[in-house]
Protein backbone atom coordinates (compact mmCIF):
# COMPACT_ATOMS: atom_id res chain seq x y z
CA UNK A 1 0.00 0.00 0.00
CA UNK A 2 1.16 3.53 -0.76
CA UNK A 3 2.20 5.54 2.29
CA UNK A 4 2.50 9.26 2.87
CA UNK A 5 2.15 10.44 -0.71
CA UNK A 6 2.76 14.17 -0.89
CA UNK A 7 0.80 16.57 -3.07
CA UNK A 8 0.67 20.35 -3.38
CA UNK A 9 -2.82 21.71 -4.06
CA UNK A 10 -4.32 25.17 -4.47
CA UNK A 11 -6.07 25.37 -1.06
CA UNK A 12 -6.31 23.48 2.24
CA UNK A 13 -10.10 23.21 1.91
CA UNK A 14 -9.62 21.49 -1.44
CA UNK A 15 -7.16 19.08 0.19
CA UNK A 16 -10.00 18.07 2.47
CA UNK A 17 -12.36 17.66 -0.48
CA UNK A 18 -9.85 15.35 -2.16
CA UNK A 19 -9.48 13.29 1.03
CA UNK A 20 -13.25 12.88 1.26
CA UNK A 21 -13.39 11.73 -2.37
CA UNK A 22 -10.45 9.34 -2.15
CA UNK A 23 -11.62 7.62 1.02
CA UNK A 24 -15.30 7.79 0.00
CA UNK A 25 -16.21 9.43 3.31
CA UNK A 26 -19.95 9.75 3.82
CA UNK A 27 -19.90 11.15 7.36
CA UNK A 28 -17.27 13.05 9.32
CA UNK A 29 -16.98 14.54 12.79
CA UNK A 30 -15.61 18.09 13.02
CA UNK A 31 -15.41 20.52 15.96
CA UNK A 32 -17.78 23.43 16.41
CA UNK A 33 -14.76 25.68 16.91
CA UNK A 34 -13.38 25.73 13.38
CA UNK A 35 -13.32 27.84 10.22
CA UNK A 36 -16.64 27.54 8.34
CA UNK A 37 -14.75 26.76 5.11
CA UNK A 38 -14.05 23.32 6.59
CA UNK A 39 -17.63 22.15 6.99
CA UNK A 40 -18.56 23.88 3.74
CA UNK A 41 -15.89 21.80 1.97
CA UNK A 42 -17.36 18.65 3.50
CA UNK A 43 -20.86 19.50 2.35
CA UNK A 44 -19.60 20.38 -1.13
CA UNK A 45 -18.61 16.71 -1.37
CA UNK A 46 -22.02 15.55 -0.06
CA UNK A 47 -20.37 14.42 3.15
CA UNK A 48 -22.59 14.58 6.22
CA UNK A 49 -21.12 16.64 9.08
CA UNK A 50 -21.48 15.87 12.77
CA UNK A 51 -20.11 18.45 15.20
CA UNK A 52 -18.30 17.85 18.47
CA UNK A 53 -17.22 20.04 21.38
CA UNK A 54 -13.68 20.51 22.71
CA UNK A 55 -12.43 21.22 26.22
CA UNK A 56 -10.05 23.91 27.50
CA UNK A 57 -7.05 21.88 26.31
CA UNK A 58 -8.56 21.47 22.83
CA UNK A 59 -9.38 17.77 23.27
CA UNK A 60 -12.72 16.39 22.01
CA UNK A 61 -15.01 15.94 24.99
CA UNK A 62 -16.70 12.89 23.50
CA UNK A 63 -15.55 9.45 22.43
CA UNK A 64 -16.06 8.27 18.87
CA UNK A 65 -16.59 4.91 17.28
CA UNK A 66 -13.17 3.50 16.43
CA UNK A 67 -13.87 3.50 12.69
CA UNK A 68 -15.36 7.00 12.55
CA UNK A 69 -13.77 9.61 10.32
CA UNK A 70 -12.72 12.48 12.58
CA UNK A 71 -11.26 15.81 11.56
CA UNK A 72 -9.07 17.36 14.24
CA UNK A 73 -7.50 20.82 13.82
CA UNK A 74 -4.01 21.35 15.18
CA UNK A 75 -5.12 24.58 16.84
CA UNK A 76 -2.64 27.46 16.48
CA UNK A 77 0.12 24.95 15.69
CA UNK A 78 0.50 24.00 19.37
CA UNK A 79 -1.55 20.78 19.58
CA UNK A 80 0.85 18.06 18.40
CA UNK A 81 0.39 16.18 21.68
CA UNK A 82 -3.36 16.00 21.13
CA UNK A 83 -2.84 14.95 17.50
CA UNK A 84 -0.56 12.03 18.39
CA UNK A 85 -2.85 10.82 21.17
CA UNK A 86 -5.95 10.94 18.98
CA UNK A 87 -4.15 9.21 16.11
CA UNK A 88 -3.39 6.27 18.40
CA UNK A 89 -7.08 5.94 19.30
CA UNK A 90 -8.68 6.53 15.91
CA UNK A 91 -7.22 5.04 12.71
CA UNK A 92 -9.36 7.31 10.53
CA UNK A 93 -8.16 10.57 12.08
CA UNK A 94 -7.70 13.38 9.54
CA UNK A 95 -5.46 16.18 10.77
CA UNK A 96 -6.14 19.77 9.77
CA UNK A 97 -2.68 21.30 9.99
CA UNK A 98 -3.68 24.62 8.42
CA UNK A 99 -2.08 26.25 11.50
CA UNK A 100 0.79 23.75 11.62
CA UNK A 101 2.71 23.82 8.34
CA UNK A 102 5.80 22.23 9.88
CA UNK A 103 4.02 19.35 11.62
CA UNK A 104 5.07 15.81 10.67
CA UNK A 105 2.59 13.53 8.93
CA UNK A 106 0.22 11.85 11.35
CA UNK A 107 -3.15 10.15 11.04
CA UNK A 108 -4.89 8.67 8.02
CA UNK A 109 -4.28 11.91 6.10
CA UNK A 110 -3.30 15.48 6.86
CA UNK A 111 -3.17 18.81 5.10
CA UNK A 112 -1.77 22.28 5.72
CA UNK A 113 -1.71 25.73 4.13
CA UNK A 114 1.20 27.60 2.60
CA UNK A 115 -0.97 30.71 2.27
CA UNK A 116 -1.24 31.19 6.01
CA UNK A 117 2.54 31.24 6.42
CA UNK A 118 4.02 32.80 3.29
CA UNK A 119 3.25 35.58 0.84
CA UNK A 120 1.56 33.46 -1.82
CA UNK A 121 -1.86 33.67 -3.42
CA UNK A 122 -2.57 29.94 -3.30
CA UNK A 123 -0.96 26.77 -2.01
CA UNK A 124 -1.44 23.88 0.40
CA UNK A 125 0.10 20.48 0.99
CA UNK A 126 -1.56 17.11 1.44
CA UNK A 127 -0.36 13.76 2.79
CA UNK A 128 -2.32 10.54 2.26
CA UNK A 129 -1.85 6.96 1.04
CA UNK A 130 -3.74 7.47 -2.21
CA UNK A 131 -2.82 8.60 -5.70
CA UNK A 132 -4.58 11.50 -7.38
CA UNK A 133 -4.56 13.17 -10.77
CA UNK A 134 -5.53 16.83 -10.93
CA UNK A 135 -5.08 19.72 -13.33
CA UNK A 136 -2.62 22.40 -12.33
CA UNK A 137 -3.92 25.83 -11.33
CA UNK A 138 -2.90 28.24 -14.12
CA UNK A 139 -3.43 31.37 -12.05
CA UNK A 140 -0.60 33.85 -12.64
CA UNK A 141 0.21 36.70 -10.29
CA UNK A 142 3.06 39.19 -10.23
CA UNK A 143 2.56 40.30 -6.65
CA UNK A 144 0.63 39.19 -3.62
CA UNK A 145 -2.50 41.13 -2.57
CA UNK A 146 -1.19 44.03 -0.49
CA UNK A 147 -4.38 45.51 0.92
CA UNK A 148 -7.15 43.81 2.86
CA UNK A 149 -9.57 44.46 -0.01
CA UNK A 150 -7.21 42.69 -2.44
CA UNK A 151 -6.86 39.85 0.04
CA UNK A 152 -10.66 39.47 0.19
CA UNK A 153 -10.88 39.42 -3.60
CA UNK A 154 -8.31 36.65 -3.74
CA UNK A 155 -10.25 34.70 -1.11
CA UNK A 156 -13.42 35.01 -3.18
CA UNK A 157 -11.50 33.74 -6.21
CA UNK A 158 -10.26 30.72 -4.25
CA UNK A 159 -13.79 30.00 -2.98
CA UNK A 160 -14.78 29.34 -6.58
CA UNK A 161 -11.84 27.05 -7.34
CA UNK A 162 -12.19 23.28 -7.56
CA UNK A 163 -9.32 21.05 -6.37
CA UNK A 164 -6.26 21.65 -8.51
CA UNK A 165 -2.51 21.34 -8.14
CA UNK A 166 -0.78 24.43 -6.78
CA UNK A 167 0.10 27.13 -9.32
CA UNK A 168 3.63 27.34 -10.70
CA UNK A 169 3.85 30.93 -9.41
CA UNK A 170 3.46 29.71 -5.85
CA UNK A 171 5.64 26.64 -6.36
CA UNK A 172 8.55 28.84 -7.47
CA UNK A 173 8.22 30.90 -4.28
CA UNK A 174 7.83 27.92 -1.95
CA UNK A 175 10.83 26.16 -3.47
CA UNK A 176 12.98 29.16 -2.50
CA UNK A 177 11.88 29.23 1.17
CA UNK A 178 14.37 28.32 3.90
CA UNK A 179 12.02 26.39 6.16
CA UNK A 180 14.53 26.09 8.99
CA UNK A 181 14.87 29.88 9.16
CA UNK A 182 11.09 30.34 9.10
CA UNK A 183 10.63 27.83 11.93
CA UNK A 184 13.26 29.57 14.02
CA UNK A 185 11.67 33.00 13.51
CA UNK A 186 8.29 31.74 14.64
CA UNK A 187 9.61 29.97 17.70
CA UNK A 188 11.59 33.03 18.82
CA UNK A 189 8.59 35.32 18.32
CA UNK A 190 6.34 32.90 20.20
CA UNK A 191 8.77 32.71 23.12
CA UNK A 192 9.01 36.50 23.29
CA UNK A 193 5.23 36.86 23.49
CA UNK A 194 5.02 34.07 26.04
CA UNK A 195 7.52 35.79 28.32
CA UNK A 196 5.36 38.91 28.28
CA UNK A 197 1.95 37.28 28.61
CA UNK A 198 2.26 33.86 30.24
CA UNK A 199 1.37 35.11 33.72
CA UNK A 200 -2.00 36.43 32.56
CA UNK A 201 -2.70 33.95 29.77
CA UNK A 202 -5.51 31.61 30.84
CA UNK A 203 -4.39 29.06 28.27
CA UNK A 204 -1.75 26.74 29.66
CA UNK A 205 0.41 24.90 27.18
CA UNK A 206 3.85 23.44 26.74
CA UNK A 207 5.31 23.10 23.25
CA UNK A 208 6.75 19.79 22.12
CA UNK A 209 9.53 19.38 19.57
CA UNK A 210 6.85 19.05 16.87
CA UNK A 211 5.11 22.35 17.59
CA UNK A 212 5.88 25.38 15.43
CA UNK A 213 3.11 27.89 16.24
CA UNK A 214 1.12 29.86 13.72
CA UNK A 215 0.12 32.54 16.25
CA UNK A 216 0.44 33.20 19.95
CA UNK A 217 -3.00 32.35 21.43
CA UNK A 218 -3.74 34.66 24.36
CA UNK A 219 -6.87 34.03 26.40
CA UNK A 220 -8.04 36.52 29.01
CA UNK A 221 -11.27 37.87 30.47
CA UNK A 222 -11.15 40.86 28.15
CA UNK A 223 -9.69 41.62 24.73
CA UNK A 224 -6.18 42.95 24.40
CA UNK A 225 -5.81 46.57 23.36
CA UNK A 226 -4.15 45.64 20.10
CA UNK A 227 -5.59 44.98 16.65
CA UNK A 228 -5.89 41.25 15.96
CA UNK A 229 -8.16 38.87 14.11
CA UNK A 230 -10.76 36.69 15.77
CA UNK A 231 -11.31 32.94 15.24
CA UNK A 232 -13.88 32.14 13.81
CA UNK A 233 -17.61 32.79 13.39
CA UNK A 234 -19.66 33.58 16.49
CA UNK A 235 -20.67 30.58 18.62
CA UNK A 236 -23.66 30.32 20.98
CA UNK A 237 -22.87 31.67 24.44
CA UNK A 238 -24.03 28.37 25.92
CA UNK A 239 -21.06 26.61 24.28
CA UNK A 240 -17.93 26.21 26.39
CA UNK A 241 -15.95 27.19 23.26
CA UNK A 242 -17.63 30.60 23.25
CA UNK A 243 -14.82 31.97 25.40
CA UNK A 244 -12.35 31.14 22.63
CA UNK A 245 -14.40 33.15 20.16
CA UNK A 246 -14.99 36.04 22.55
CA UNK A 247 -11.69 36.42 24.39
CA UNK A 248 -8.95 34.50 22.59
CA UNK A 249 -6.55 36.84 20.83
CA UNK A 250 -4.47 35.16 18.06
CA UNK A 251 -1.38 37.38 18.03
CA UNK A 252 0.51 37.15 14.70
CA UNK A 253 4.12 35.98 14.95
CA UNK A 254 5.08 37.57 11.64
CA UNK A 255 3.74 40.55 9.74
CA UNK A 256 0.88 39.72 7.41
CA UNK A 257 1.34 41.12 3.87
CA UNK A 258 -1.94 43.05 3.80
CA UNK A 259 -1.15 44.70 7.15
CA UNK A 260 2.10 46.25 5.94
Of residues 23 and 155, the one with the higher pLDDT is 23
Query: Is 64 within 8 Å of 71 (Cβ atoms)?
Result: no
CA distances from 37 to 63, 119, 218 (A): 24, 20, 24
- Mean pLDDT value across residues 227-255: 84
Q: Where are the domains of the chain?
A: 5-174, 179-259
Instruction: Work out the percent of the chain whose per-residue pLDDT is above 90.
Output: 75
Q: What is the pLDDT of residues 58-75, one digit of tens each?
A: 999 999 999 999 999 999
Q: What is the mean pLDDT of the chain?
A: 90
pLDDT attached to residue 29: 98
pLDDT at 223: 64
> For residue range 94-126, what is the model confidence (pLDDT) as tens digits?
999 999 999 999 999 999 999 999 989 999 999
**pLDDT level of residue 259 (50, 70, 90 thresholds):** very low
- Residue 214: predicted pLDDT: 96
pLDDT of residue 151: 79
Flag whether pLDDT at 227 surpasses 70: no
Instruction: Flag whether pLDDT at 14 surpasses 70.
Output: yes
Which tops the pLDDT comparison, 247 or 30? 30
144-195 pLDDT tens trace: 666 778 878 888 888 889 999 999 999 999 999 999 999 999 999 999 999 9
- pLDDT for the residue numbered 8: 97
Name the band, by pLDDT with cuts 50, 70 and 90, for residue 232: confident
Reported as a pLDDT band with limits 50, 70 and 90, residue 84 is very high
Residue 35's pLDDT band (cuts 50, 70, 90): very high
Gyration radius of the chain over CA positions: 18
pLDDT computed for residue 140 by the predictor: 84
Q: What is the mean pLDDT of residues 194-203?
A: 93
Neighbours of 28 (CB within 10 A): 23
Q: Looking at the predicted structure, is the pLDDT value of residue 228 above 80?
A: no
Indicate the class that CATH gives domain 5-174. alpha beta
Mean pLDDT computed over 20-29: 98
Amino acid sequence: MLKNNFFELNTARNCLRVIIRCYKIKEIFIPYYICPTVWKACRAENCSVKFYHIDDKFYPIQNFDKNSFILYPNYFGICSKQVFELAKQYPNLIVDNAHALFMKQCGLASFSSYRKFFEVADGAKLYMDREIKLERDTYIYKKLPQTYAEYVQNELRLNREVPKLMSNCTKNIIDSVNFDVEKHKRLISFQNWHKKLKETNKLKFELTEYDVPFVYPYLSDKPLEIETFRYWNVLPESFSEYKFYKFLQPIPLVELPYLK
